[in-house]
Structure 1
Amino acid sequence: MTNTVLHTANSRGHANHGWLDSYHTFSFANYYNPERINFGALRVLNDDTVAGGRGFGSHPHDNMEIVSIPLEGDLEHQDNLGNVAVIRKGDVQIISAGTGVFHSEKNKNPDKPVQFLQIWLYPNKLNGTPRYDQVSLDVKDRHNNFQQILSPNPDDAGVWIQQDAWFSLGKFDQGFQTNYHLKKTDNGVYAFVLEGDVTINGQQLHRRDGFGIWNVDQLHFTADSAGAEVLLMDIPMNI
């Protein structure tokens, strides 16, 4: 039997620190909801806006797959593996924290905010070698199409992850319909609406709504507004 969970945009946790305005779909920092710990392997989905010139100082992670997807602006990254990089809209970054990594994130621009999603997934193997990767993708390839941006295969499009997960981004014309076929049996999909209105398997969704669905092998998707933009996260439900 198909199972679903709906997390509306206005039900998320919220913390405004002045320099950081953050919305939490799942329990994070001072936001705790026992019904929102994770969705399968998906542990954190934060929708962050960082003020000009501000950022997160160096801090540690371990045994977590950390994905950053810039939505607007320029995000500067540094870590103790020797990586220094700037990621922008169209880029996708992953840190496989493994046995441990320190990194910092900063808004590179002093005069405008940076907005990005930070997503954490449990890895399928603990205590791996820490690893950093980023790719730049052509955003035109997601017009009326789910463009793959992450997978467990290093030879596939997008960054690769230490988990049986596939992420896709799409931006759609009003009325466009398509089907999405899950990549692996027993995976579920968590859909996060970045912009506009969509319907997935009969569920109407709006900007920044999240919708989890499992025990299905495909999704039927309709864009209900022009420029509707959606992130699909196809992830293991058993961890």
Structure 2
Amino acid sequence: MLHIIRSVERKSFDHGWLQTKHSFSFGSYQDRTRQHFGSLRVFNDDVIQPGEGFGTHPHQNFEIMTYMISGALEHEDSLGNKEVLRAGEVQRMTAGSGVSHSEYNHSQEEEAHLLQIWFYPDQQGLPPSWEQKGFSIDKQKGKLIPIVSGKKVEGALSIHQDVTVYVGKLEANQQLLFTQEQGRKVHLFVIEGELEVDGQIVQTGDTAEVTEQSNLTMSIRKDTHLMLIDLA
């Protein structure tokens, strides 16, 4: 079963310093029909203006990952980590028993565009931890690259949940078949571009949620940057 959620259907907020789109209930936005998709609880598409960011704030019992699309974002946390996240880089944080962090765009000229994603963990009260890694996505065009996984996947950052997150820059006219085990789900998000998923057109900002099928056929209509999440 394939369910398409168009970009205009996602909840948008313009806070001046932050433009954001929420795929699921978050903060003041509450929709009983959009609470989560399997273990995927939050999928926010954020653009942070130059010189702005999120002040220090706490998290607990979530697996949080950030994928940087463009610009740069400085992360600092209560574990003593301080690092700048740049385009093509991925950060994952186990909030576990509790962690605080801040996220700032220190550029005075360039926006910071990112995806922030939260998963329910497979255990409560885990020790907080943090990792960051760069992926050569531009050098591996045409492939889906695993960047975060709860399984032992070479090169991917580890997460405490049965999910695998892929990103890819796929090329126009490319055909791709994604196969997963029976009974799993797919959350596919188009960062930029256009493709056909099992006969339906999906464009920039659109989401395809797939259930009850193990094979997903993708025909790339334009050069496309996408994220695909394989969930239990």
Q: Are 1:126 and 2:124 matched, yes or no? A: yes
The one-character-per-residue Cα deviations of 1:195-227 (angstroms, maximum 9, x if unpaired) are 1111122221011101110122221111011x2
Q: Distance in 1 between matches of 2:140 and 2:13?
A: 31
Kindly provide the amino acid, as one letter, of the partner of residue 80 in structure 2.
G
Kindly provide the amino acid, as one letter, of the partner of residue 25 in structure 1.
S
What percentage of residue pairs aligned between the two structures are identical?
33
1:197-212 superposed matches below 5 A = 197-212=194-209
Q: 1:228 aligns with which of 219, 224, 229?
A: 224
Give 1:154 deviation, angstroms. 5.5
Q: 1:6 aligns with which of 4, 7, 23?
A: 4
Q: Distance in 2 between matches of 1:141 and 1:212?
A: 28
Q: Distance in 2 between matches of 1:45 and 1:28?
A: 9
Give 1:153 deviation, angstroms. 3.6
Q: 1:106 aligns with which of 104, 107, 116?
A: 104
Q: Distance in 2 between matches of 1:35 and 1:203?
A: 23
Partner of 1:143: 141
Q: Are 1:195 and 2:198 matched, yes or no? A: no
Give 1:235 deviation, angstroms. 1.1
Aligned partners of 1:92 and 1:158 also within 8 Å: no
Q: Distance in 2 between matches of 1:218 and 1:181?
A: 5
- SS of the residue corresponding to residue 8 of structure 2 reads helix
- SS of the residue corresponding to residue 10 of structure 1 reads helix
TM-score, scaled relative to structure 2: 0.96
Q: Distance in 1 between matches of 2:190 and 2:153?
A: 28
Q: Distance in 1 between matches of 2:125 and 2:24?
A: 24
1:83-102 superposed matches below 5 A = 83-102=81-100
- SS of the residue corresponding to residue 197 of structure 1 reads strand
Q: Distance in 2 between matches of 1:107 and 1:220?
A: 37
Give 1:185 deviation, angstroms. 4.1
Partner of 2:16: 18
Aligned partners of 2:151 and 2:164 also within 8 Å: no
Aligned partners of 1:14 and 1:31 also within 8 Å: no
Q: Are 1:216 and 2:213 matched, yes or no? A: yes
Aligned partners of 1:58 and 1:104 also within 8 Å: yes
Q: Distance in 1 between matches of 2:140 and 2:31?
A: 34
- SS of the residue corresponding to residue 138 of structure 1 reads coil
Give 1:108 deviation, angstroms. 2.3
Aligned positions, number: 232
Give 1:155 deviation, angstroms. 5.8
Give 1:6 deviation, angstroms. 1.8
CA shift in 2, pair 1:185/1:125, >3 Å: farther
Give 1:170 deviation, angstroms. 1.3
Kindly provide the amino acid, as one letter, of the partner of residue 129 in structure 1.
P
CA shift in 2, pair 1:35/1:155, >3 Å: closer
Aligned partners of 1:142 and 1:169 also within 8 Å: no
Kindly provide the amino acid, as one letter, of the partner of residue 220 in structure 1.
T
Give 1:32 deviation, angstroms. 1.6
Q: What do you get for the CA RMSD once the two structures are aligned?
A: 1.3
